Chains A and B, each alone.
Chain A
Amino acid sequence: MKRLFPAITLILVMLLTLPALAQEGGPNMPTDDEVNAIAKGLYCPVCENIPLDVCGTQACAQWRELIREKLSQGWSEGQIKQYFADQYGDRVLATPPARGLNWLVYLVPPLLIAAGVYILFRALRAWQRPVAPAMPDGSLAEGQDEYVLRVEEELRKRP
């Protein structure tokens, strides 16, 4: 009986732990959260505008299983996303890769914002500037626009 005790204990422990392992899908099987963390950054072309982690179609379910399979094989998030981009095109990525014409997405908005801020800054400064008359000796008073003065002078000269 003493010899059987360790064997019985081992069997009992295995019986108790196996259901838990099966529920998790095995020790190396990625969890749904891990799969969805990557799926969140992918879009299936069949169901446009619905992120893969919340898409309910069979196609998307297959994609999520593919992510799970790649994760269990030790692939990184970057490798998996690159695989999907190679297989199905860049349009499946939530964030377009910074190459080719995609650069415009990253460059144009900041440039437009910077240009807008500059124009606004110039406009505000122009509004704040007091309109000063020309000095008697012909020199410019502070804040006076030389170009505007010259235009006005030329206009005065016109018959």
Chain B
Amino acid sequence: MDDVQTTNMEADPNPTSRSRPHWGRAIVWVGLLVLLGILALGLRRTQQGPITIGDRVTGITLTTFEGEQINVDGLQGKVVVLNFWASWCKPCEQEAADLESAWRKYQPGGDVVFLGVDYVDTEPEALAYLEKFSITYPNGPDLGTRISQKFRIQGVPETYILDQEGVLRFVQIGPFTTLGQITSAIDPLLNED
């Protein structure tokens, strides 16, 4: 084996000229590894599941139609009802009045915050919808669809209820059909103290 190595050393009068292809290969391999790494990161991000019940919800900021910024992280100590809707969504209309009634029921206590997230909508139609159903709790567009992507919503309406610790405790896919259905999801969280 030593003999082989010695022969190789002797047969290579200009080692720098032979090292060039190795550098080329190294660059190609490093490039491939970087590419694979980026792909792996991308896949990992897409494979990450949606926020599920029991997960702490952080990093959500809603900019309302009035321009106010509401950070969900700052609402700890309160139950947060996050409702996704759109003006073009007919099932959303079914629950709009009940959500507003529920908000008016809990508003005086100050323990529950309702937030409406307007999904993939146009502002004039959204504002007309809010006026039509006399909705008074804060509502705002889902800018860049960032909030809906975080929850990986399947459509609208969907409602997510967080407890006082900011942990997701209840998910409603589709519209609430009665006011009682909404209050029965919120009341147990208020009684936990």
Contact = CB atoms under 8 A, between A and B. Distances in A.
A154 B38 contact: no
Nearest to A60: B88
B12 to A, nearest CB: 9
A157 B121 contact: no
Specify which of A46, A115, A157 lies most central, judged by the most chain B CB atoms within 10 Å of its CB.
A46
B144 interface: yes
A104 B7 CA distance: 45
A39 interface: no
A59 B8 contact: no
Of the four ranges (under 10, 10 to 19, 20 to 34, 35 or more), the interface on chain A belongs to: 20 to 34
Nearest to B125: A62
Contact of A59 (B121, B143, B144): B121
Given A57-B88, A62-B88, A66-B122, A154 B146 contact: no
Contacts of A57: 88
Q: Is chain B's interface secondary structure helix, strand, loop, or mixed overall?
A: helix
A118 to B, nearest CB: 10
A128 interface: no
Interface of A: 44-46, 57-59, 62-63, 65-66, 86-89, 91, 101, 104, 108, 115, 150, 154, 157
Nearest 10 A-B pairs (CB), nearest first? A58-B88, A89-B144, A59-B88, A62-B122, A89-B145, A66-B122, A154-B4, A45-B120, A46-B120, A62-B125
Given A57-B88, A87-B144, A88-B120, 15 more contacts: A45-B120, A45-B145, A46-B120, A58-B88, A62-B121, A63-B122, A86-B144, A89-B144, A89-B145, A89-B146, A104-B38, A108-B35, A150-B7, A150-B8, A150-B11
